[in-house]
């Protein structure tokens, strides 16, 4: 970067430090406290033990919750990328009323996830809900399906709702990416006789690589942390079928008051999140 | 081939068929919510359900205020989100300007720090917050929640503001400095006024982040008088007999600020989001 530098470079401190100190105070300090709790034994006692970590390692429920989280995140993010890319590609054409379609497609993402969860909980109601009514009228199902009570369906139902809620963000980012691809690239390739599939593979996808990486990283982080949607729909039930790390940790803290154990789970979750987002942090901090 | 040159990848039927399906998918739950909110309690429990209310009425919207204190919930959400948004945008603008204009030692490390804090899960912090705020006498207060929400909003605000300030040419700073303006003069009298639309977008984004949160509110409040809209909605779910029309009315109004603000400022927000997350 060729920026003209004036001799008041030391002034950076006055701008950057207030926010930095605030973040240390409200974020880094409490985070370090969690780290501390996690190495205290449950129910008091001497300092420093890895007992909480070995407890969670051997805890079948924790393993199930971890598995649920992985499945929830993988399917949510995967489906967001597929549908988001599809809608972005279609919207990137010269079409009638593009802003209107974009606006409608954006709606699910703008409302709080608690609101999204509660609407769909009501839609999924076996007897009074819209989904079963629709499917029965269409002749697709014969009886009322228990979308949120049937252990086999419940996690998939929640993931489906999360598909609805989350695809617009990916669409938005990818649409911005698509719009910045120079049209001449396509025209040149089309003259050379490239098919539309080849255009997609050779021009569109490579040009979107960075946008896709960003969308992927941010979406993974957000879906790992998702709380309100699940809390509103199932509160982690039935059994532990839809329990994910964030709802599980919340319960350990505020329903069972196992502070030390909950902290250990939260620390593990945080390490996993930071590992996943490290390439993203590296990439962005190098560029800025 | 002719189609590609016109900027069309798919046929009209494919395009509009797909868009229609996606739009229906996106909007149907909202229609169902509005429809339910206009029903009576009795009609909401009809089998099979009615799609259009037989006798549309606003009873649900009235009982929201009378039977539950949704008015108070809205007031709490608004106050808390507003304070959070303004504070985090102010500190975010300062830091954003610093990162945008100065190239100092440790800059990359600090940028990495801001980015990393954006990745921390709230559940890592709610436990310590519960204890710390209790000690300070700030548990179950609006102030406590504002402090907590800064953790979510400040990294985002910094990032968005940096994106907006990056677009303001550096020459303007230099011109003002040469004219004898101090750095803070440059910041307050040149940069902030020029990036006012960006600030508005950042304030709104932070506002909506705070408005939509459930985790912190559920962990850091205990009395009815501190409940926010999202918690009001989430609590109703646990009740024995859910009054769906009222709950849908609450959900509609709870989602309304977000919908309206996005409608008004869609372009700016998209710009801000992509400026922060994505470089073109």
Number of folded domains in chain B?
2
- What is the spatial distance between Cα A216 and Cα A221, in angstroms, rounded to a whole number? 9
B90 contact residues in A (CB cutoff 8 A): none
A51 at B interface, C-beta within 8 A: no
Residue B102's CATH number: 1.10.3720.10
Per-residue pLDDT at B132 exceeds 60? yes
Q: Mean pLDDT, to the nearest integer, of B115-129?
A: 92
Cis peptide upstream of residue A188 (ω within 30 degrees of 0): no
Q: What is the mean pLDDT of residues A212-223?
A: 91
Selection from A265, A30, A225 nearest residue B220 by Cα:
A30
Same domain for B14 and B147, yes or no, is no
* Whole-number Å distance between alpha carbons of A200 and A184: 14
The minimal CB distance from A231 to the residues B121, B214, B244 is found for: B214
Instruction: Provide the pLDDT confidence category of residue A149 given band limits of 50, 70 and 90.
Output: very high
Interchain proximity B277–A3, CB inside 8 Å: no
Report the CATH number at residue A174: 1.10.3720.10
Report the residue from B30, B117, B248 with minimal CB separation from A27.
Answer: B117
What is the mean predicted confidence (pLDDT) over B43-59? 90
> CB contact, 8 Å: A256 with chain B?
no
Question: Both B159 and B148 in a single domain?
Answer: yes
Which of A78-87, B1-10, B233-242, B258-267 shows the highest mean pLDDT?
A78-87
Residue A248 falls inside a structural domain: yes
pTM for the model: 0.91
From the list B45, B110, B120, the residue facing A27 with the nearest CB is: B120
Q: Is residue A10 part of a domain?
A: no
Q: Are residue B209 and residue B123 in the same domain, yes or no?
A: yes
CA distance A59 to chain B (A): 19
Structural tokens at position A117: 């969860």
pLDDT score for A5:
52
Please state, rounded to an integer, the average pLDDT across all residues of chain B.
Answer: 88
pLDDT of residue A1: 40
Domain assignment of residue A35, yes or no: no
Mean pLDDT for B227-235 is 92
> Is position A18 within any domain?
no
The per-residue pLDDT for B2 is 39
Same domain, B51 and B68: no
Residue B58 has pLDDT above 80, yes or no: yes
- Lowest mean per-residue pLDDT among A65-74, A114-123, B245-254, B261-270: B261-270
| Chain A residue with the nearest C-alpha to that of B51 | A130
Shared-domain flag, residues B177 and B252: yes
Among residues B11, B34, B58, the one where a domain terminates is: B58
Both B14 and B50 in one domain: the answer is yes
Dist CA A281 CA A275 (whole Å): 10
Average pLDDT of span B199-218:
92
- Measure the CA–CA gap between A201 and A223, rounded to whole angstroms: 28
pLDDT tens figures, B6-31:
456 788 888 899 999 999 999 999 99
A118, B56, B65, B253 from B247: Cα distances, Å: 8, 16, 12, 10
Percentage of chain B with pLDDT > 70? 93
Total tally of structural domains belonging to chain A: 1
Is the CA virtual torsion B44, B45, B50, B54 positive or negative? negative
Q: What is the mean pLDDT of residues A186-208?
A: 87
- Domain hosting residue A279, numbered range: 60-287
**Stretch B66-72: mean pLDDT, rounded?**
87
For residues B68-94, average pLDDT: 95
Measure A62 CA to nearest chain B CA, in Å.
15
CB distance A230 to A155 below 8 Å: no
Taking residues B56-77, report their average pLDDT: 90
Whether B136 and B152 map to the same domain: the answer is yes
Q: What is the mean pLDDT of chain A?
A: 90
Question: What digits encode the pLDDT tens for the residues A15-50?
Answer: 999 999 999 999 999 999 999 989 888 877 777 888
Residue A243 scores a pLDDT above 80: yes
| Half-sphere exposure (Cβ direction) of A122: Cα atoms closer than 13 Å | 32
B32 and A103 within 8 Å at the Cβ level: the answer is no
d(CA B8, CA A91): 10
Q: Do the interacting molecules here have an ipTM over 0.95?
A: no
One domain, residues B30 and B143:
no
| A interface test, pick of B101, B121, B178, B237 with most A CB neighbours within 10 Å | B121
C-alpha distance from A152 to closest chain B C-alpha (Å): 22
pLDDT number for residue A196: 83
Q: How high is the pLDDT of residue A288?
A: 75
Closest CA to B248 of B42, B29, B69, B50: B29
- Reported as a single tens digit per residue, the pLDDT across A48-104 is 888 889 888 889 999 999 999 999 999 999 999 999 999 999 998 888 888 888 889
- In this structure, the answer to whether residues B22 and B116 fall within a common structural domain is no
Report d(CA A163, CA A84) in Å as an integer.
10
Return the higher-pLDDT residue of A283 and B122: B122
The first and second tokens of residue A232, run together, are: 């509103």
Task: Provide the pLDDT for residue A123.
Answer: 96
Chain B contact present for A197, CB below 8 A: no
CB atoms < 10 A from the CB of A12, how many?
22
Mutate to test the interface with A, among B127, B202, B206 (most CBs of A within 10 A): B127
The average pLDDT across B201-215 equals: 92
**Chain A residues closer than 8 Å to B274 by CB:** 172-173, 176
Q: Is residue A43 part of a domain?
A: no
Based on the fold, state whether residues B113 and B145 are members of the same structural domain: yes
* Same domain, yes or no: B68 and B117: yes
Q: Do B95 and A221 touch (CB under 8 A)?
A: no
H helices within chain B, ranges in order? 2-5, 12-37, 41-44, 59-66, 70-101, 107-117, 122-136, 142-166, 170-178, 183-185, 192-194, 196-211, 215-220, 229-237, 244-277
- Cβ within 8 Å, pair B8-A105: no
Examine residue A87 and state whether it is found in any structural domain, yes or no: yes
Q: Is residue A110 part of a domain?
A: yes
Enclosing domain of residue B31:
2-58
Half-sphere exposure of B234 (CA within 13 A, CB side): 24
* DSSP tag of A217: H
Measure the CA–CA gap between B146 and B142, rounded to whole angstroms: 6
Residue that has been written with the tokens 């309690």 in this structure: B41
| Whether residue B160 is found in the same domain as residue B261 | yes
Task: Report the candidate in A79, A70, A145 with the shortest Cα–Cα distance to residue A108.
Answer: A79
Q: What's the token pair of residue A177?
A: 């990416």
């Amino acid at each position: 970067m060729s920026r003209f530098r004036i001799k008041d470079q030391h002034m950076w401190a006055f701008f950057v430090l207030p926010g930095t100190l605030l973040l240390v105070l409200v974020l880094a300090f409490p985070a370090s406290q969690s780290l501390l709790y996690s190495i205290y034994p449950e129910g008091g006692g001497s300092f420093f033990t890895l007992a909480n970590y070995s407890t969670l390692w051997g805890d079948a429920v924790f393993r199930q919750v971890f598995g649920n989280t992985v499945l929830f995140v993988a399917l949510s993010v995967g489906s967001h990328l597929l549908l988001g890319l599809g809608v972005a590609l279609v919207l990137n054409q010269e079409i009638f009323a593009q802003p209107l379609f974009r606006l409608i497609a954006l709606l699910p993402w703008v409302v709080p996830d608690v609101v999204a969860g509660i609407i769909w909980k009501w839609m999924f109601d076996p007897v009074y809900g819209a989904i079963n009514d629709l499917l029965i009228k269409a002749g697709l199902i014969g009886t009322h399906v228990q979308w949120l009570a049937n252990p086999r369906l419940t996690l998939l139902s929640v993931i489906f709702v999360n598909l609805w809620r989350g695809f617009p963000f990916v669409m938005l980012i990818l649409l911005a990416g698509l719009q910045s691809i120079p049209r001449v690239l396509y025209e040149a390739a089309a003259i050379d006789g490239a098919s539309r599939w080849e255009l997609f593979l050779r021009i569109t996808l490579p040009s979107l690589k960075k946008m896709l990486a960003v969308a992927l990283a941010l979406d993974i982080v957000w879906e790992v942390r998702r709380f309100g949607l699940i809390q509103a729909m199932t509160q982690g039930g039935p059994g532990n079928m839809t329990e994910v790390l964030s709802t599980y940790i919340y319960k350990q803290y505020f329903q069972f008051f196992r502070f030390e154990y909950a902290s250990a789970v939260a620390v593990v979750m945080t390490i996993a999140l930071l590992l996943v987002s490290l390439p993203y942090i590296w990439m962005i901090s190098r560029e800025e | 081939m002719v189609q590609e040159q016109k900027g069309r990848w798919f046929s009209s039927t494919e395009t509009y068929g797909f868009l229609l399906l996606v739009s229906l998918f996106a909007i149907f739950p909202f229609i169902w919510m509005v429809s339910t909110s206009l029903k009576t309690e009795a009609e909401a429990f009809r089998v099979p359900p009615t799609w259009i209310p037989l006798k549309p009425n606003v009873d649900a919207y009235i009982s929201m205020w009378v039977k539950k204190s949704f008015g108070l919930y809205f007031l709490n959400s608004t106050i808390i989100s507003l304070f959070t948004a303004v504070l985090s945008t102010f500190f975010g603008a300062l830091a954003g300007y610093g990162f945008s204009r100065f190239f100092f030692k440790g800059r990359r490390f600090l940028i990495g720090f801001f980015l990393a804090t954006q990745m921390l899960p709230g559940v890592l912090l709610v436990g310590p917050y519960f204890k710390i705020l209790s000690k300070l006498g700030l548990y179950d207060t609006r102030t406590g929640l504002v402090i907590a929400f800064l953790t979510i909003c400040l990294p985002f605000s910094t990032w968005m503001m940096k994106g907006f300030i990056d677009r303001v040419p550096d020459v303007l700073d230099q011109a003002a400095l040469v004219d004898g303006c101090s750095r803070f003069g440059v910041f307050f009298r040149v940069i902030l006024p020029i990036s006012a639309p960006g600030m508005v977008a950042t304030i709104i984004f932070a506002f909506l982040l705070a408005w939509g949160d459930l985790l912190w509110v559920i962990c850091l409040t205990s009395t009815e008088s501190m409940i926010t809209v999202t918690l009001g909605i989430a609590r109703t779910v646990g009740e024995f007999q859910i009054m769906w029309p009222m709950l849908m009315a609450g959900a509609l109004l709870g989602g309304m600020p977000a919908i309206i603000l996005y409608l008004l400022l869609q372009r700016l927000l998209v710009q801000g989001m992509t400026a922060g997350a994505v470089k073109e």
